[in-house]
Amino acid sequence: MAQLLQKFNNTNKNSPLDVRVSSIESFLQLFTDELVYLLGNLTLKNFSSTAISSLKGEIKTGTNNLVELSNNLKIQWGDVLVTSISAGASVSKKIVFNKAFSNPPSILVTPYTLVPQNVFCSYTERKANEFKLVLCRNDTTPTTVSWIAIGI
């Protein structure tokens, strides 16, 4: 990304840059490429998603939805289907990481919905091994929430 931004900024100083990825696996590929560019040669220690098998490095077997780099940085992700029992009511789901972090990680949650203005999504109770995802919407439509956690 820094390579892309540097190249873009050299030619388009006042234009915004919109980078979109089609999947969490594409994001992880972009993120890992960026880490290698910024931090030098990293070795991939652990991953098990075939969609990101193009990542280079030492590959060991591991749990689903986990990438672990040689500097102990872990990236874990997943999707969860959340259904509210009544319109306007918050519902929460406990998400347990496949492998605990040393400290509570940085977490990003985002709902996938055709009507995003009707949904609020966040998290609470962030711990090294789990967090609680919270979703509220103005109807009871089942909503898939994607999450990603990054930390050491």
pLDDT, tens digit, 9 for 90 and up, residues 60-107:
333 458 888 878 889 999 889 998 889 999 999 999 998 999 999 999
- At residue 113, the pLDDT reads 85
H or E segment to which residue 148 belongs: strand 143-151
Q: What phi and psi values does residue 118 have, to the nearest 5 degrees? A: -100, 10
pLDDT, tens digit, 9 for 90 and up, residues 111-144:
988 887 789 999 999 999 999 999 999 998 899 9
Domains identified in the chain and CATH numbers: 1-71 (no CATH), 76-152 (2.60.40.2080)
Question: Could you give the 3-state DSSP secondary structure of residue 59?
Answer: coil
- At residue 85, the pLDDT reads 87
| Nearest residue to 135 via CA among 77, 75, 95 | 95
Residue-wise DSSP of 120-131? EEEEE---SSEE
- At residue 114, the pLDDT reads 84
Mean pLDDT of the chain: 75
Q: What phi and psi values does residue 137 have, to the nearest 5 degrees? A: -140, 165
- At residue 72, the pLDDT reads 83
Average pLDDT, integer, range 29-43 = 61
- At residue 107, the pLDDT reads 96
**Tokens read off for 37:** 């560019």
The yes-or-no verdict on residue 152 having pLDDT over 70 is yes
Residue 113 · residue 119 · CB < 8 Å: yes
Residue-wise DSSP of 68-126? EETTS-EEEEEEEEE--SSTT-EEEEEEE-SS--SSPPEEEEEEE-S-GGGEEEEEE--
- At residue 131, the pLDDT reads 97
